[in-house]
Amino acid sequence: MRTSYGVAFALSAGFRLATAAPVCGGGSASDLLWVTTYPAGEGAQGKLLTLKLDGSKLEVVAESDTCGPYPSWLTQAGDVLYCVDEAWGGDHGTLHSLKINDDHSFTNLSQHETVGGPVSTVIYGKDGLGLAVADYAGGGIDTFNIADPAAIKLIKSLVYPAPTDGLPDPQNSARPHEAILDPTGEFLVFPDLGADQIRVLKVDKETLEYVEKPSYTDFDRGTGPRHGAFFKSGDKTFFYLVGELSNLLQGFSVAYNDDDSLTFTRIHNSTTHGDDKPLPEDTAAAELWIAPGSNFLTLSSRFESSLEYTVANGTKVPSDPLITFSIDKETGALTHVQSAPAGGINPRHFSFNSDGTRVASALQSDGRVVVFERDPSTGKIGKATAEGDVEGMPNFATFKQ
């Protein structure tokens, strides 16, 4: 069992890890957020921020540099927060384990190098004692034993071979962009933006070791698989994925084979808007989530400037969209529900609160975080309830559990 700090966790509807631990410091799960920022400007440093919803404002109540100068993806396990430092330009990134203090500050418990450029983490294994990392810049993955958050231990690092077809950056290297756990907890999958693959690992829940399984490779070169999510419906499993380079939304039925491998069969292929209409030249798909306990999928699209958002002072600004689809529980088919303003430009990340009644959007280019109402019964995103400007470039925003 986990020592010292405990963990309470459960699989979310999208089958990325969602924690179910009490919130420290008196805030509820829906009025406190963690935000990480990239540095903006020469000599600047990114921050890990704690924001509190105060009426229509998001107030910064704590800030920390305990996750290094380039912090991004966060994963909570009880009163421990795992944060990655992407370490731009460095040979290695870093995984940090942070104790969440009652005053919203953090104490660095432990840290360990990763392959390089870590961008996503997910907890796996029995009792949640393993953590997998997708290393975009380093072209590989890491797995860690986090039984003792004060002494995280590397299990294995793996660097994938670079493609040999001569495409330019970012497809001149393997580029795992997200670590995702399947609904059974027995497989880790990694969308690989550089190699146009879905990497698959079969994990041993007891030992936390893994065996590589055949990747899904039936993508056109230039697709750029970035982020995805599993959806479990009865005895059926589906997987949905956005391509950053192609701006495609693809859906798959998933079969579990007797040889402990996965088969992905494509059932949906459209633009991120659900059709085949051309998108603005600089468009780049980013995040994809399935809302908790629902059959609604939402994704973010960057650099479209296709919508408009009114900030708190009444100024109207261009906005990229958050695009929502309903999932047919029998067939996995997708139906477009809504395209709503994300609150500005470059929504690199967004997240839902635990009951799906709110959405937090991190606008990297605008330096803004916005929280919207959401109707769980329809999947539709409503009006903004709070917003706040933050120093730097917000790249990740998640509700504290």
**Other Cβ atoms closer than 10 A to 382:** 15
- Assign 21 to helix, strand or coil: coil
Query: Measured in whole angstroms, how far is the alpha carbon of residue 118 from the centre of its chain?
Result: 12
62 neighbors 32 (Cβ within 8 angstroms): no
Q: Which of 192, 184, 255, 233 is nearest to 333 (CA)?
A: 233
How many Cβ atoms from other residues are within 10 Å of residue 132's Cβ? 26
Q: Quick one: average pLDDT of 15-37?
A: 55
Q: What is the 3-state secondary structure of 43-111?
A: CCCCCEEEEEEECCEEEEEEEECCCCCCEEEEEEECCEEEEEECCCCCCCEEEEEEEECCCCCEEEEEE
* Structural domain includes residue 2: no
Residues 49-76 pLDDT 10s: 999 999 899 999 999 999 999 999 999 9
Residue 38, domain member (yes or no): yes
pLDDT mean across residues, the chain: 93
Beta sheet of 118-124, edge-to-edge order: 118-124, 130-135, 140-145, 153-159
In a domain, 186, yes or no: yes
* Cα 363 to Cα 359: distance, rounded to the nearest angstrom: 13
Structural domain of 135: 9-399
Q: Would residue 149 count as lying in a domain?
A: yes
| Average pLDDT rounded to a whole number, residues 3-18 | 35
**Structure confidence by residue, pLDDT tens digits, 112-163:** 999 999 999 999 999 999 999 999 999 999 999 999 999 999 999 999 999 9
Q: What is the mean pLDDT of residues 313-330?
A: 98
Instruction: Please give the pLDDT value at position 9.
Output: 33
Distance CA 217, CA 227 (A): 16
Summarize pLDDT for 83-98 with one digit per residue, the tens.
999 999 999 999 999 9
What pLDDT band is residue 30 in, cutting at 50, 70 and 90?
low
CA distances from 213 to 114, 172, 199, 254 (A): 22, 23, 8, 14
Give the pLDDT mean for 202-230: 98
Question: What is the full DSSP assignment across 141-161?
Answer: EEEEE-SSGGG-EEEEEEEPP
Under DSSP, the state recorded for 24 is: G
Predicted TM-score (pTM) above 0.85: yes
Q: CA–CA separation, 247 vs 280, rounded Å?
A: 10
**Over 50: is that where the pLDDT of 25 sits?**
no
* 4 is a domain residue: no
Using the predicted structure, report yes or no on whether residue 11 has a pLDDT greater than 80: no
Q: In terms of Cα–Cα distance, which of 115, 125, 95, 117 is closest to 159?
A: 115
User: Do the domain assignments include residue 14?
Assistant: yes
Rounded alpha-carbon distances, angstroms, from residue 267 to 191, 192, 251, 254: 17, 20, 5, 10
The token duo for 48 is: 């890990």
The domain total for the chain is: 1
Q: Is residue 3 part of a domain?
A: no
Instruction: Give the CATH number, domain containing residue 374.
Output: 2.130.10.10
Per-residue confidence (pLDDT) for residue 43, from 0 to 100: 87
Using CA atoms in the order 336, 342, 347, 350, what is the torsion angle rounded to 10 degrees? -80
* Strand residues in 244-367 grouped as ranges (E): 248-256, 262-271, 284-290, 296-302, 307-310, 316-319, 321-327, 334-341, 347-352, 358-363
- Whose tokens are 């470059």? That residue is 346
With respect to residue 124, please indicate whether it lies within any of the assigned structural domains: yes
Helix (H/G/I), strand (E/B), else coil: 26: helix
